[in-house]
Amino acid sequence: MRLTVGQVHRHVLALASLRSCFVLGDNLPLRMLSLPRAVRFHQTAWLGTETVQDKSASLTLASLEGQNKVEYGKKEKATRIGGPKPSSRASALKVKPKVSSFNSKPAKSTLPKSAVVKKTLKIDESLFSAKSFEELGLPPLLIDRLNKEGLSTPTEVQSAAIPIISQKHDAVIQSYTGSGKTLAYLLPILSEIGPLKRPTEQYGSDKRSGVEAVIVAPSRELGMQIVREVEKILGPNDKRLVQQLVGGANRSRQEEALKKNKPLIVVGTPGRISEISAGGKLHTHGCRFLVLDEVDQLLSFNYREDMHRILEHVGRKSGTSSRDILGPLARRSERQTILVSATIPFSVIRAARSWGHDPVLVRAMSVVPLDSITVPRPVLSQTDANPNSPSNSVNQAAVDSLPPSLEHYYCISKAQHKVDTLRRCIHALEAQTVIAFMNNTKPLKDVVFKLEARGMKATELHGDLGKLARSTVLKKFKDGEFRVLVTNELSARGLDVPECDLVINLDLPTDSTHYAHRAGRTGRLGRKGTVVTICEETETFVVRKMRKQLAVPIKPCEFTEGKLLVHNEEDVE
Ligand SMILES: Nc1ncnc2c1ncn2[C@@H]1O[C@H](COP(=O)(O)OP(=O)(O)OP(=O)(O)O)[C@@H](O)[C@H]1O
Probe target for ligand 1 pocket from 146, 157, 175, 181, with the most ligand atoms within 8 Å of CB: 181
Per-residue model confidence as pLDDT tens digits over 412-445: 999 999 999 999 999 999 999 999 999 999 999 9
Domain count, the chain: 2
Q: Is residue 346 located within the same domain as residue 440?
A: no
Closest ligand 1 atom to residue 517 Cα is 26
In a domain, 461, yes or no: yes
Q: Is residue 359 located within the same domain as residue 447?
A: no
The CB of 180 under 6 Å from ligand 1? The reply is yes
Ligand 1 mean position, distance from CA 497 (Å): 10
Q: Is residue 357 located within the same domain as residue 458?
A: no
The CB of 249 under 6 Å from ligand 1? The reply is no
Between CA 427 and CA 278 the distance in angstroms is 51
The CB of 183 under 6 Å from ligand 1? The reply is yes
- Could you tell me the CA-to-CA distances from 83 to 4, 80, 129, 247 in Å, in that order? 48, 10, 12, 40
Between CA 490 and CA 274 the distance in angstroms is 21
In a domain, 368, yes or no: yes
The CB of 139 under 6 Å from ligand 1? The reply is no
pLDDT over 90, % of the chain:
56
Per-residue model confidence as pLDDT tens digits over 341-363: 999 988 899 888 888 778 899 98
Q: Is residue 151 located within the same domain as residue 257?
A: yes
- Cβ-based burial of 406 (10 A; exposed 0-12, middle 13-18, buried ≥19): buried
Per-residue model confidence as pLDDT tens digits over 367-394: 777 777 766 544 333 334 444 443 456 6
Ligand 1 mean position, distance from CA 181 (Å): 6
Mean pLDDT, residues 47-60: 28
Selection from 533, 436, 523, 415 nearest residue 482 by Cα:
436
Identify the residue with better confidence: 231 or 91.
231
The CB of 521 under 6 Å from ligand 1? The reply is no
In a domain, 485, yes or no: yes
Per-residue model confidence as pLDDT tens digits over 442-454: 999 999 999 999 9
Residue 279 in 3-state DSSP? coil
Closest ligand 1 atom to residue 133 Cα is 1
The CB of 178 under 6 Å from ligand 1? The reply is yes
Q: Is residue 453 located within the same domain as residue 554?
A: yes
Ligand 1 mean position, distance from CA 292 (Å): 16
Residue 200 in 3-state DSSP? coil
Q: Is residue 173 located within the same domain as residue 293?
A: yes
In a domain, 154, yes or no: yes
- Within a 13 Å sphere around the CA of 521, how many CA atoms are in the beta-carbon half? 28
In a domain, 16, yes or no: no
Ligand 1 mean position, distance from CA 183 (Å): 7
In a domain, 107, yes or no: no
In a domain, 401, yes or no: yes
Identify the residue with better confidence: 400 or 534.
534
Q: Is residue 350 located within the same domain as residue 474?
A: no
Residue-level pLDDT at 42: 30
Q: Is residue 413 located within the same domain as residue 558?
A: yes
Mean pLDDT, residues 95-124: 36
Ligand 1 mean position, distance from CA 184 (Å): 9
Identify the residue with better confidence: 368 or 536.
536
In a domain, 53, yes or no: no
As for the ipTM of the complex, it is 0.99
Residue-level pLDDT at 124: 52
The CB of 342 under 6 Å from ligand 1? The reply is yes
Q: Is residue 361 located within the same domain as residue 423?
A: no
Q: Is residue 364 located within the same domain as residue 405?
A: no
Kindly indicate the confidence band of residue 247, based on its pLDDT and cuts at 50, 70 and 90. Answer: very high
Residue 137: CATH number of its domain:
3.40.50.300
Q: Is residue 153 located within the same domain as residue 292?
A: yes
The CB of 153 under 6 Å from ligand 1? The reply is yes
Q: Is residue 344 located within the same domain as residue 443?
A: no
Kindly indicate the confidence band of residue 55, based on its pLDDT and cuts at 50, 70 and 90. Answer: very low
Per-residue model confidence as pLDDT tens digits over 223-243: 999 999 999 999 999 999 999
What mean pLDDT, rounded, does the chain reach? 75
Closest ligand 1 atom to residue 293 Cα is 27
The CB of 154 under 6 Å from ligand 1? The reply is yes
Per-residue model confidence as pLDDT tens digits over 466-491: 888 998 999 999 999 999 999 999 89
Which positions ≥6 away from 521 have C-beta within 8 Å? 177, 435, 491, 492, 495, 497, 500, 503
- Within a 13 Å sphere around the CA of 76, how many CA atoms are in the beta-carbon half? 22
Selection from 26, 5, 6, 16 nearest residue 356 by Cα:
26
Identify the residue with better confidence: 121 or 494.
494
Between CA 328 and CA 37 the distance in angstroms is 15
Residue-level pLDDT at 209: 66
Per-residue model confidence as pLDDT tens digits over 492-513: 998 999 999 999 999 999 999 9
The CB of 179 under 6 Å from ligand 1? The reply is yes
The CB of 103 under 6 Å from ligand 1? The reply is no
Structural domain containing residue 519:
396-566
- The residue nearest atom 16 of ligand 1, judged by CA position, is 180
**pTM (2 decimals)?**
0.76
- The residue nearest atom 7 of ligand 1, judged by CA position, is 180
Kindly indicate the confidence band of residue 119, based on its pLDDT and cuts at 50, 70 and 90. Answer: very low
- The residue nearest atom 23 of ligand 1, judged by CA position, is 178
Ligand 1 mean position, distance from CA 229 (Å): 10
Probe target for ligand 1 pocket from 230, 496, 500, 527, with the most ligand atoms within 8 Å of CB: 496
Ligand 1 mean position, distance from CA 196 (Å): 20
- The residue nearest atom 15 of ligand 1, judged by CA position, is 180
Residue 537, phi then psi, degrees to nearest 5: -50, -45
Kindly indicate the confidence band of residue 136, based on its pLDDT and cuts at 50, 70 and 90. Answer: very high
The CB of 177 under 6 Å from ligand 1? The reply is yes
